[in-house]
Each structure stands twice: as C-alpha cells, then as structure tokens.
Structure 1
C-alpha cells in the first residue's frame, strides 16, 4: 500500500511554514538477477515540494504495485511482467550437469557484468529489438580498460601532462558471445510463453573476404615472443621492478606453456627436480585456481588432455627453480601444498600462502615490460604461444607439443601453429627429443633473473 506523508520543514515562505510531501510504499526485494525474494519487502520513499506532484507519483506507484497483484502467476500477463533476471537465473540453473561448473560461472559473470545492468530488472516483454541493437552498439563503443595496476613505484607526471584515457574496444567475437548469452536467456522466455518471439536478431553478416578488405579490424593473431625477447622482458622486470620472483614466473610461463589459471594453481609439490644440477626436471599440471568473490577456488584444467599432463623443464630452468625453492621460497621444504609462485601482500612483501594473480602479473610486470621494450600488444596468453612456437621452430614434433600444451586434439595444434610446423614433422614424432633443445638458444638467463 502506498500513501503520502506530509512533513513540515524549517523553511518559511510568505510567512508560512514550507511543507514537503513524501510518497511512501513497500515493494518486493529482488536479488542480483532481478527475481523477487519471497517474503521480503523494502521501504521506498520519494519526496516532492508540491502535493500535486506527490499525488501523481502516488498514482504511478499504486498502478505499478497493483499490476503484480491478483494475477495468476501462470498467466501470460504475469510472465510478461517477469524481469529478465528471473529467466537468466532459470537459464543458468538449467546448465548444471551439461557443462563444467567453471564454464557456468563464466556465463554468470558475463551476465552480471554486461547484461544485468541494462536488462536485469526490466520486464521481459518490454525488451525490444531496438533495445538489443542499442545494447550491441554500446558493446562496440570504446570503454575504459579494466586495470589491475595497483602496485609498483609511482612515477612523477608533469603538471601539464594529460593522463591517458586507456580506452579499448571489444572484439566482434566478444560482443557476439555477450549478445548470444542474452539470446539464450530470451529463448527461455519464449519457451515459457512470456514473449512470442526473441528480440535478439542476428547481426549483419560479413564474409571473410569483406572483413579482410574493409580494413576496419584485422583478424586476431597471436604474438609469440622469441627466446631473446623473453629474456629481455625478464631482465626488465628484475631490473626496473626489482622483482626477481615475478621475473622468474614470467620466464617459467614462457617456457612451460601453462595457462594463467594453471600457473595460479601450481604448488611446490607439482615440481620434480633431481639433486644433480644440469639435469632436466618436470612439472605436473593437476589443478587450476581462480579468485571468486574474494576467495580462491580450485578446479581442474579445461580438458581431459590438460589434466595430469607432464611438461619437461630444460636443465637451465630446472636449476633456476632449484635455487628459487632452496633459497627464496620460505615454505618449499615445509609445506608441499604451498603455491609455487606467491601473491602480493603489499608493494614490498609477498604473500607466500596465496597464489600469484596472473592478472596482476600481467598488468604490473609483463605489460609494462613489453611496452618499454616496444614489443607490441603482448597478452599473458602469448607466453603460451611463445612456448609452442619456440618448440615447433626448434623441430619438436607437433604431437609432442600438443601433449605439453594439453590441447584437446592434435588438430587444434596443427591449425593454430601451422606456420611453425615443418612438413617433415608431419610424420611420426622422433624419440629422445626434449624441450631443452627448444630453448638451447637462450643464454645467460640465470644471470638476468637471479640475484
């Protein structure tokens, strides 16, 4: 029930005390998906200077409140008034058992980040094709890049310098993924009879030939680094950032091909090293780690081929890790479950009980190093491409590299790295070759990242 409460203020006008008119009502509490929480309501108020404006607002509130009362929940009108968030929750719940929990969490995060702020609380029947087109256009618009840069020494900026806006744009593939998720949510509403048709229409089709000649956006291409470039990056991090541990983490990622979540999930017990220097070692990929709502959640790699795979360590890299675990890592000899590379507690202190955050490693160290060395737009995942291309260029068989990468099939390795595979290597893999050969051209790396 809505009503108007009259309040007397301390202000006076023409000798009379000024009054304010407060429209009060209670409405159902909705969760983050826009769904009504049963049995919970919240007090709402709107204040107006005139009684006329207050009465107009009161009429609007009563109309909105009565629209959801006395209506059969199974009726078409009730379904049409349901917010998109309720159907989003229904869609995400229906995915259980059909795909990995981490994949479902990715869809949920995508919904919360992009779709919920625009459509989450809107009645499903009120979403039109024009709204979807405007939403799609907004996704293509330049936006502020999310940054994890929170540490490192500050640099003095001249007073007359205008700070960079750091605007970026989303790729067509990303936009298609977001709009596709919205379409699947609306498909649930169509099947429920809330709307007669899905307002999400397919975007304009463009053939590969037209995209190539338009010049508006180039096709994606990974940017692998050479062994010397990796060494330069690690040297820059150790010298300019004074962080030998994270310099080693970047070097390790580039010469093992681990994914970001796999790097975060590595523990001391996953490293196998001999007691003899100059011999190969290995790491075993068993888990992933990701931050969810401020806490770490552990899972399995993205495919069966990725789980429990073993990646060899070149002798020089095995020596680096041996020195690191013996002289730097405080928990290496005590707690096998300790993270291999630590997170940060502050600018000067590591948090050895928590894993390294790959996003922070990229934004605070890898990206600044690549920019300073004019290496272009290098992503963290390009370290994985670096591992693949260096090994294939050195003559490793693509089937062996595919196993080290944890690809779901050899076809993925062939299609991704066809330019680096020799025709002679399309035969059976050779026996007795190791990753040490692929990094034989790397020199004095230990001197660059150890101190």
Structure 2
C-alpha cells in the first residue's frame, strides 16, 4: 500500500537565501506494479492523499493523475481517429466544430485544467459573439463527448462539460410548397434537372439520396423509387453507394404515375443504360456537388420562379404535406419519408394531421351510453 517519506531539502527563497524545508512524499504502486510518487508541503495533506490512494486502489477507482495532463488538442486528435461509429459527414462536421469553436478556447489546456465554470463562461462568450444557439449547443456537445471519452480512459474522474446550461434551440416551422409552386420551380429549372425537383417534392428524397440515385433504383412498373444508398460529400470529394442516414432511410417510396412518366423520360434522355448509371449528374458528367449546384442552378431557378427562400430540403417538407393531403396516415408518411420514428413525424409535422378530438368525444358518448346535450 502507500507510505510517506519525510525529506529535508535545501531551497532558495525570493531573496536568494538558502533555507532548509521539509517535504512529504507519498509513494505507492498501482495495479500493474508501477511506482508513483506525489510530494506535499504539509504532513496533513500527505496523510489525506495516502488514505485516498489506498481507498481508490482497494476499490478499483484509482486514476493516474498524470494521465489528465495531456493537452485537449492532442487528446482530441487521437479521439477523433477512433470515432469509427460516425458517418463520414457527421465526422466531418465534428472536426469542423472542434477546429472552429472548441480548440481555439481549450486546445492548449491540459484536460485536468478544464473546469465546469470555464465551460459555462465559454457558452456565454459564444452567445455574446452572436453565435446561434444551434452552433453553441453543437460546440458544447462536441467538447462533452470528447471529455467523456477521457473519463472512460481514466484521464478524468468526471466530465466538466456536463450540467452546463445551454440556450434553447427553436425549430423553424417547415416551409411547404403548393403544387403550383412546385410546378413553377420545375418550369424554371434547366431541362436535365426538372426530374430532380420531382423526386424531391413527390418522392421526399434527401439531397444525398437524390444525388446518389441510380437507374436500378427506379421501378417504373410498380411506380416506386427504391432508396438503398446515398451520395456523401466530404472535403470536396463525393463517394457513392454509402449506407443511408438511418436503418429506416432504406425504403420503397410510391410516386404518382404521372411523376414516374416524367422520371422515365429523364432516364431516356440523360441516363446511361447500365443499372448503376447515376440518375442526376453535372452538365459535363460526374456527380453533383451540392454547393456548386445551388450556386449555378438552384438559386437562379428558384429566384426566377419567385421562390428565393426555398432550399432542396423544402421539397422534402412539401412531400410530407402532399402525403397528408392525399389522406396518408402518420405511419405511412413516416415510412415513406424515411424518418427514424413515427414520434419524430408527429413532433415535426403533427399540425398537418387532422384533429379528431370532437369525433372522439362523440365516440366516447356512444360507448358510455351518454347523450349529446348541446343545443
């Protein structure tokens, strides 16, 4: 177990005089037999540390205090390399958040020097600097996840980024396009991209799903779009055939036959005959880059259609509204949109579904044998 060694040493004070002082060194071995030593100026502090070390070693909670001395930027670099659980796009966003917000503030500090008070102050600084609540929350979540890994690795005893008050993030109400607005946008698009608007508004595909769509995914006989993979753009490079966002994102989406006929015309005019041919490509070939497409094609067409505020994701919102208007129930909407749960669909789009509360009252009256006493 631990023991205390009393030592007498010579030190120079501020005036340059040499004085004799006493120090107390707590010595002990960890579970692997490695010897450790910690020095204290007072005997009482050494006794308390000795008792603490013995308790931690006996209970299996001891942590080498030197492991927390690694700087956050060095730890974060190693930590991100081990995040094999993240999708490529999610990992890229995490790296950006760490580089832009987290590391400039805490990167040079040892892990053990990051305090809860410092994290709270950092949140205030970001809000004062007019960072959005969403960006602020993402920054804290990134730091929290990084430090949680340090706790699991025995470098910290607790996570200082937990229990930090965060600004609320209010979700914007979805923007829906009417059928006539969708038609105006289709008309304003270059001919080779009109079908892209259709699969967004009437198929509900996310951008990556649409950009990665292949001929084999179009089932004209059954009037279905089969979503099995997605295009991913990271650091200026696009890869095809990636796993969709979630398990439920793999789906078969029914589309109107009128839409399917237009999609089949697009296949005939712009897509190669092989099953793996990409349905939507750049004008000179190759995959669609989102930012380039938005700048060169989408924004000019949207402005011409009188819809300067819409994005490609607006089409996905519109798809949900169209399904609801067609009488589809919430389970069908959730499944065909590829939402991760029916609960999400209700939370995000619940206002689109009819409120049957009055009908429920009548059904309860009938069940209980009551009468309608309203005048």
Which TM-score applies when normalising by structure 2?
Answer: 0.66
- Contact 1:395 1:422 (C-alpha < 8 Å) held by counterparts: no
- Note if 1:250 corresponds to 2:197: yes
Please show how residues 264-283 of structure 1 align to structure 2 within 5 Å. Answer: 264-274=211-221, 281-283=223-225
Match of 2:279 among 340, 344, 355: 340
CA–CA separation in structure 2 for the residues paired with 1:141 and 1:382: 31
Structure number with the higher helix fraction is 2
The alignment yields a C-alpha RMSD, in angstroms, of: 3.4
Aligned to 1:260: 207
Match of 1:136 among 123, 137, 160: 123
Please show how residues 98-109 of structure 1 align to structure 2 within 5 Å. Answer: 103-104=90-91, 106-109=93-96
Aligned to 2:243: 300
CA–CA separation in structure 2 for the residues paired with 1:219 and 1:301: 24
Specify every segment of 5 or more residues in structure 2 that has no aligned partner in the other structure, as ranges: 1-35, 38-62, 357-375
CA–CA separation in structure 2 for the residues paired with 1:398 and 1:227: 21
CA–CA separation in structure 2 for the residues paired with 1:372 and 1:140: 37
Change (3 A) 1:320 1:419: same
- Contact 2:88 2:234 (C-alpha < 8 Å) held by counterparts: no
- Contact 1:246 1:361 (C-alpha < 8 Å) held by counterparts: no
Aligned to 2:102: 115
Aligned to 2:138: 177
CA–CA separation in structure 2 for the residues paired with 1:368 and 1:190: 50
CA–CA separation in structure 1 for the residues paired with 2:128 and 2:232: 29
1:114 CA drift (Å): 3.6
Aligned to 2:337: 405
- Contact 2:211 2:230 (C-alpha < 8 Å) held by counterparts: yes
Aligned to 2:348: 416
CA–CA separation in structure 2 for the residues paired with 1:191 and 1:396: 46
CA–CA separation in structure 2 for the residues paired with 1:218 and 1:124: 32
1:341 CA drift (Å): 0.4
CA–CA separation in structure 2 for the residues paired with 1:258 and 1:139: 35
1:105 CA drift (Å): 5.0
CA–CA separation in structure 1 for the residues paired with 2:104 and 2:278: 36
1:293-322 deviations in Å (ceiling 9; x for gaps): 333234211222221x11123222222222
1:367 CA drift (Å): 4.1
Which TM-score applies when normalising by structure 1?
Answer: 0.56
Specify every segment of 5 or more residues in structure 1 that has no aligned partner in the other structure, as ranges: 1-70, 144-168, 212-216, 275-279, 344-349, 425-451
CA–CA separation in structure 1 for the residues paired with 2:170 and 2:340: 27
Match of 2:70 among 82, 107, 117: 82
SS at match of 2:248: coil
- Contact 1:289 1:299 (C-alpha < 8 Å) held by counterparts: yes
Aligned to 1:383: 315
1:287 CA drift (Å): 0.3
- Contact 1:311 1:404 (C-alpha < 8 Å) held by counterparts: yes
Larger Rg: 2
